[in-house]
Amino acid sequence: MKSSLTIPEYVRDALSSVAQKLNFTSTQHSVDYDFRASENNRSVVSVFYRVTFREEPREVTVLCKVPPPGADDTLLALFEREVFVYGKLLPAFEQFQRSAVQEATPNSTTAAVEEEMVSFGPLCYHAHCDAKRGEGIIVLEDVQRRGFTNRHKFEPMDYDHARLAMVQLGRFHAISLALKKQQPELFEQYRYMGDVTGERVLAMEGFEQAMEQAFESASATLNPGDVGRREKLARLRGCFAEELQNISDTALTEPFCVVCHGDYAGDNMMFSYNGGFPNRMVLLDWQLTKYGSPALDFVHTVFLSTDESFRRNHYDNMLQTYHNALMSHLERLGDDSATEWFPLTVLMRLIKLQA
């Protein structure tokens, strides 16, 4: 035990269940808590720490994620969304992929099928949330043990990292589109994944004043002669609340809406490397996951995780990379006509319309 922090009983019960899943003997293994991870935690939505199960000669380390002390309704709603993603959505996406691969290659071995699978997040051992009781816990594999590392939070992504992020995003969105066409009854539940924070943010006390100050600050950065940009900023200033609502209006972009990560940025990605180049990626922090335009995730990454020079030189390439990955994965999932109903021109229209 590396801290005196109190562990709630429901957390202990959850970890006991995880230990059993990992085949530790109930009365013969030890559990060590390391709270140093929470000291470097950049999230305001959750607190996490490492937990190590030991029973000679084995030991397994997992990450335990819980709501912060005194979490309000908004934070608990965000945590509840992430629990749903880890506990229900990602396993369903994985099973859909597995079934599609098995159907396409019926003679493949189990190992070969698993090799074809695309994983999007860390393995989840346990996910539970009871917002009324203020309880929540997500237990994840520690992907650092598999060689995954974080990039520096404020460092723009270079070409190799951004390209892999676009490929992974295209694959992730493809599952939504394929599932929506092939198993609409299963997919229906995901259509109701609205923006957890959207309406709450607009209703927050002081939000309008904060936005007014933001527009003032933005205007102050423009040159006196920059008339065009000043006019655009003035138009947005007069209708920013309406624009925020339009972003979440799925009716504007159907039938192309997908499950979006919601915060698809470099600091929510971990990479592993082969020969110095990123070759695998996992996504973290799924609390803003929602149903919406695929353009939202794309634009979020390109404009928040790369710099102006990168966008000037590689924007078109990133757009094409994302779309190619989307089409390729849709084909692998059994859709041979995706290029006909979702050409690149449609994606470009979605970006202009809503993102």
Convert the pLDDT of each residue in 180-218 to its tens digit. Answer: 999 999 999 999 998 888 767 666 667 778 888 888 888
What average pLDDT does this structure show over 99-121? 80
What is the phi/psi pair of residue 144, to 5°?
Answer: -60, -30
User: Which amino acid belongs to residue 140?
Assistant: L
Interhelix angle 344-354/294-304, nearest 10 degrees:
70
Model confidence pLDDT, tens digit, residues 40-88: 455 667 888 899 999 888 899 999 999 988 888 888 999 999 999 999 9
pLDDT score, position 83: 97
Please provide the average confidence, as pLDDT, over all residues in the chain. Answer: 88
Beta strand extents in 67-176 (DSSP E only): 124-130, 135-141, 149-150
Q: What is the pLDDT of residue 202?
A: 67
Residue 160 has pLDDT above 90, yes or no: yes
Is residue 147 classed as helix, strand or coil in its secondary structure?
coil
- pLDDT for residue 2 is more than 70: no
What's the average model confidence in pLDDT over 128-142? 94
Query: Each residue of 281-309: pLDDT tens digit?
Result: 999 999 999 999 999 999 999 999 999 99
Percentage of the residues of the chain whose pLDDT score is greater than 70: 93
* pLDDT of 3 strictly over 60: no
pLDDT score, position 199: 67
The yes-or-no verdict on residue 328 having pLDDT over 80 is yes
Residue 4: per-residue pLDDT: 52
Q: Give pLDDT, residue 1.
A: 41
Tell me the CATH architecture of domain 150-353.
Alpha-Beta Complex (3.90)
Distance CA 298, CA 306 (A): 12
pTM of the full predicted structure?
A: 0.89
Residue 245: phi, psi to the nearest 5?
-70, -35
Please say whether the beta carbons of 161 and 272 come within 8 A. no
Per-domain boundaries in the chain: 150-353
Distance CA 198, CA 212 (A): 18
Structure token pair of residue 19: 């230990």
DSSP 192: G
Residue 153 CB neighbour total at 10 angstroms: 10
